[in-house]
Structure formats: C-alpha cells, structure tokens
Structure 1
Amino acid sequence: MYIHDYHGSKDIDIGFHVETNDLTGLSEESPFIKAINSLEANGFVPISQRFVKFYHTETRTELTEQESKRLAQPFIFNLYVDPIVDHIPANVMELLGFVPIDEPLLSAVFQSKKYTIINAFGTKLMLPCPEVLLATKINALHNRTKDHKKIKDICDIYALVWHSKIGHKELHRKLSTLLDVEHTVGILSKINGDDYEEAANALGIGTLEFSNVIKSFTHI
C-alpha cells in the first residue's frame, strides 16, 4: 500500500446564483442569505469569506471555537465551507459584513443547466458538469502563486480530464464554450516538468502517464 500526502481541498464549496433583480440588493429571504444564516445556526464560525467548524481529530467530536484554541493544531480538524456566488450583489457587505467569493462561471450551471443531480447524504445534490469544474480549475491555475495550491489544481485538472465520463474531444469542445481555446492552451502549456512530477507523486502515478493525459488534452 502506498501513502501519499493529500493535495486536495478539505473544504466544501457551495455555489449560488444571484438573480439579475437581486444584483442591486439581496433580501433576507434570498437562498444565499438563508444559507449563511443556516451555517451560523449550525455552529459554523465566519472567518473572512469562509465558515469553519472545528473537530477533534481523535474523538471526531465537534469543538467550540474556544475549545479549539486550547488544543494543539494536530488535534484539530477544520471543516471549511466556502459560499460562492456567480455575481456579487451591491448590498452584500451591508447584510453580511463581508464580500463573498465570486465565480462568474457558475452562471453556466444555473442558467445553461450545466449540472447533474445525485443522491447523497440523504438529499439531492446539484453538481456542476465536468467542463464547468475544469474551466474553474484552469482559471484558478492561471492565478496561483502558492505552490501547494497550484499542484492541487493540476491534480484536479488531471482527474477531471481522465475520469470524466465523456470523451476527451467532447470535453474539450464543451470547455471551449466556456473558455477561449488559446486561453486554455496558454495556461496548460505553462505546467512545467517539476509541476508534473510533484502532482504525479501526489496521486501515486507515473509522471509520464500523468503529463501525457494533460498534454494530449491540451492539443486536441
């Protein structure tokens, strides 16, 4: 058995569509505001644009913020939730005291119905289609400065290309409706040998096998 450092996110992203008539101001009854209120009611603590709940790594019990401050970091697991909107409403700072993360590509999920529904955790979840997730990861990679997050993005790109249930050519075609092809090629072509090696090691596969997947997809 091989054990590798985990480079993936330990947080939950929840996307929200902001209707055009809400851009000038969200109401307290909007799904986004209701979700924020629900997170706080369920013990999540706001930290900048994120919300976090603390757990003991050994007992798996929930911790209060004060309890977490009395423990050493190895005994604390932080569960983060990132609320993300496709557009930022004008009055969101007034309502919440922070400006949420925005990802305009989320509009495709809600307005163009680029999603699939799955049953999980006792409910139905709406998941973005692979091309939307891939587009967000490529854009994120373009702006990365921290090495560990860059490697995580590269791992995610590999996983989306290799494990999506649609062919590479079809995925490439669908991606081109969201991102300019030259933009995509330019970003993916900047992944260097060291990046490929580190990402491949993180997933426990060969560097050549890993790099060939992304390179062949880049130049379809």
Structure 2
Amino acid sequence: MSVIGILLAIPWFFIMLSLVLKLKLFRINGVSNALITALFSWKIIGTFGLQFLYTFYYSDRSTSDLYRFFDDGLILTKIASTSALDFWKIIFGLYDEFGTYRDLYFDQMNSWIKAFNTLSYNDNIVIIKTNAILNLLSGGYYEINALIISGLVFGSLILLIKAFMESARMRGLGLGVSGGFGFSALDLDALGGNKGIGAFHRNRDVHSNYAPFCGQK
C-alpha cells in the first residue's frame, strides 16, 4: 500500500466523481448529488480498506486476488517497454498461448495460466490485461487502478438501479430510490459493471417499444 499511490489517486477520485455527477446518463430523479458523493466516497473508502487488509494481514501477494492479477499486469505492462508489438498482440489476443509467448511471458506470471483446466474461459486473463492497460495511465500504482475500476463499477451500478426503477415503473411497482441504493450498498462489487450497462440499455429498448401500449411517452 503506497502513500504516494493514494496521493496520486486523489485527482482521479474527483475526475470519476465529476463524471458521475455531471453526465446526464447517471442522473436519477430524486437522488441528490450529496447522496451520490457520499455513496461513492464510501465505495472508495471500502476499496482502500480492503487493500489495507490484504497489505498488512493477508500479505501473500501470489495467492491474494487483490494483488496477484495486479502484479501479473505489471509484468505485462513491462513488455510494452521492451516490445510494444508483443504487448498489443497479447492485449488483442493475437498470439499462440502455447508458443514462444508462453516461455517468454506467461510462465513468469502467477495467474495467467490456471493450475487446472476448468473447461471455461480463463477470466484471469481479462483482469490481468485490464490492469496492464490501466498501468499505462497510473504509472503502475495499484491505488489508481483500484479507484478507476471502482468508479466504473459505481457508475455501472447506477445504470443498473435506473434500469430496475424504469422496469418497476412500467410494471406499476413501487420501487423507491432508497430501496435501490440499499441494494447497491449490499452488492456494490458483487454485480459486474457490464450487467449495469446492459440492463440499462435493454430496459430503454423495452420502454421505447412498449410505452405506446402502456399509455406512456
């Protein structure tokens, strides 16, 4: 856990918060900016609190989900300085996983290659690549990576809540804003950001298709 990383993350906090507060996409009727700011602040405090635990109490970085993907991301980012072509080929999946790249790069990582075959997509790779790309912005500070990802998850969760509220309104249910944010406080990290974005757009499509039949505009 880096003090410098935390200090450098402060501007990113205000950038992410400003985007959430200013973009119309993330506005919910009846929810004040003060509440959004408080919830986002608690989210970030929780993010750094978790980092504190995994830094000083569960300190084995090779087995910690918090750090092992980040550390592998650092290895991948270093490839950009030695071979930018190899780096971008790896990012876009243009490589043979069992060829030269495995010997040069993947065997140096803890989590790129799973210890057992789960017969499913290796989502470790997505997280490692995400960290590697964010490292280009953050300079390799975990704190900045974590804050950016937390901001994206928070924004996506707002979209998910908006989708639920819009769907409930169409069905005549009384889903209130407070209920939606209570849900968000419990499941902020459990829900993937892509689910929030996808649900928001799906419900917008449903609303636009069926609103004329429901007497809505």
Rg larger in structure: 2
Q: TM-score, normalised by structure 2?
A: 0.26
Structure richer in helix, relative to its length: 2
Structure with the bigger percentage of strand: 1
RCO higher in 1 or 2 (8 Å CA, sep ≥ 6)? 2
TM-score (normalizing by structure 1): 0.26
